C-alpha cells in the first residue's frame, strides 16, 4: 500500500488538483463556505503554519498573526479563523513532511498570480510576527515561492519589504 493510500491522498479522476486529507479536514471546519473557497482558505492557512513551524517553534505572536491574516484575507469571523489556524497547525505538526509539497501544489493550481504574491507577503508577515525572520523561515518562504513558480525578482521585491526583520541581516548584539 502506498503512502498516498494510507493518508487517503489520491487525485480524483476528474479533479485538476490533488485534494489532501489536510485540506479536507480544514475545509470541514468551514462547511458553510463554497467548497472551492474553503479549499483555498484551508491551503492558505496550512502554508501560513508551514512558515510558522519552519524553525520548529510556533510563537504566540505567529499564531495571532495567522489568525488575523485568515480573518482579513479569508473573510472569516474570528472564531472560525481560530479553528482553521488550529487545525492547520495540528495537521502541519502531524503530517508536515508528507503534506507540505502536496498542499503547496494544490494552492498553486487554485491561486492566481496575484494571490500567490499575496501569500508570499503573508508568509513573511507571519515569520516576522515575533520580531525576527530566522534563516530557516526565510529559506522555507523561498522554497514555497519556488514551488509556486514565483519569479525570483518578485520574491526579492516582497522579501525586501521585510529586510529589517531578516536575522541574517541583523547585526549581532554587542556584548558588554
Cell of 19: 485534494
Nearest Cα neighbor of 127 from 69, 51, 72 is: 51
| pLDDT tier for residue 170 given thresholds of 50, 70 and 90 | low
Mean pLDDT estimate for the chain: 83
Pairwise CA distance, residues 159 & 122, whole Å? 11
| pLDDT tier for residue 173 given thresholds of 50, 70 and 90 | low
Pairwise CA distance, residues 117 & 103, whole Å? 16
Cell of 109: 493550481
Looking at beta carbons, which pairs linking 56-65 to residues 24 or more positions away fall under 8 Å? Answer: 58/89, 59/129, 59/130, 61/129, 61/130, 61/131, 62/126, 62/127, 62/129, 62/130, 63/89, 64/129, 65/125, 65/126, 65/129
| pLDDT tier for residue 16 given thresholds of 50, 70 and 90 | very low
Q: What CATH fold (topology level) applies to the domain 18-166?
A: TerB-like (1.10.3680)
Structural domain boundaries in the chain: 18-166
Higher pLDDT, 64 or 31: 64
Mean pLDDT of 9-38: 62
Tally DSSP H helices, then E strands, for the chain.
8, 0
Q: Would you say 42 and 21 are in contact if contact means Cβ atoms under 8 Å apart?
A: no
Q: Would you say 22 and 46 are in contact if contact means Cβ atoms under 8 Å apart?
A: yes
Cell of 46: 496550512
pLDDT at 37: 84
Angle, helices 135-147/113-128, rounded to nearest 10 degrees: 170
- pLDDT (tens digit per residue) in 124-157: 999 999 999 999 999 999 999 999 999 999 999 9
Which range has the top average pLDDT, 22-26, 56-60, 71-75, 162-166?
162-166
What percent of the chain has a predicted confidence (pLDDT) above 90?
52
Q: What is the pTM of this model?
A: 0.78
The answer to whether residue 172 scores a pLDDT higher than 50 is yes
- pLDDT (tens digit per residue) in 79-115: 888 888 988 888 888 887 788 899 999 999 999 999 9
Amino acid at each position: 500500500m502506498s503512502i498516498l493510500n494510507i493518508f487517503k491522498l489520491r487525485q480524483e479522476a476528474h479533479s485538476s488538483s490533488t485534494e489532501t486529507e489536510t485540506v479536507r479536514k480544514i475545509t470541514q471546519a468551514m462547511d458553510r463556505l463554497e467548497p472551492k473557497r474553503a479549499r483555498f482558505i484551508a491551503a492558505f492557512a496550512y502554508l501560513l503554519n508551514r512558515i510558522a513551524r519552519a524553525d520548529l517553534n510556533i510563537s504566540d505572536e505567529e499564531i495571532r498573526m495567522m489568525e488575523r491574516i485568515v480573518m482579513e484575507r479569508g473573510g472569516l469571523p474570528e472564531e472560525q479563523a481560530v479553528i482553521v489556524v488550529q487545525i492547520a497547525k495540528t495537521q502541519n505538526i502531524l503530517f508536515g513532511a508528507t503534506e507540505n509539497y502536496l498542499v503547496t501544489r494544490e494552492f498553486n493550481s487554485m491561486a492566481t498570480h496575484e494571490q500567490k504574491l499575496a501569500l508570499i507577503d503573508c508568509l513573511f508577515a507571519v515569520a516576522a510576527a515575533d520580531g525576527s525572520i530566522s534563516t530557516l523561515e526565510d529559506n522555507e518562504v523561498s522554497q514555497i515561492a519556488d514551488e509556486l513558480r514565483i519569479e525570483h525578482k518578485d520574491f526579492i521585491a516582497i522579501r525586501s519589504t521585510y529586510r529589517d526583520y531578516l536575522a541574517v541581516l541583523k547585526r549581532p548584539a554587542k556584548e558588554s
